[in-house]
Amino acid sequence: MARRGVSEEGQPGGRPPIIFAKDAQVIYFLWSLAVLLVLSGIVGMILPALPGSPLLFAGLLCAAWAEDFAYVGWRTLTLLGCLAVFLHFGW
């Protein structure tokens, strides 16, 4: 079975194929971590003991990483990171 971006026979010259896809376990872990961080961030917006905006940003970063940054690019993540810093420090 060919993986994303690699044919069955691999690369020319007898080298093993380069595999771009992550393991399913890594993707599930990143999505689980993203959900946990986003929910913690939402709770942190209400409870002052938890830093809400940095946790939200970390969760969104994990979700973007799980999808190989296909839907969220560096510009969006930079903007979200700046907003998280501004909200956290109260500027």
- Mean per-residue pLDDT pooled into runs of 10, the chain (91 residues): 51 53 84 96 91 94 91 92 91 71
Residue 9 has a pLDDT of 55
Phi, psi at 57, each rounded to 5°: -65, -45
Q: Would 60 be classed as within a structural domain?
A: yes
Structural domain that includes position 79: 24-89
CB 81 within 8 A of CB 64: no
Q: Would 65 be classed as within a structural domain?
A: yes
**pTM passes above 0.85:** no
CA distance 28 to 51: 25
Longest CA span, the chain: 59
Tally of domains in the chain: 1
CA distance 27 to 4: 15
CA distance 52 to 85: 11
Residue 12 has a pLDDT of 53
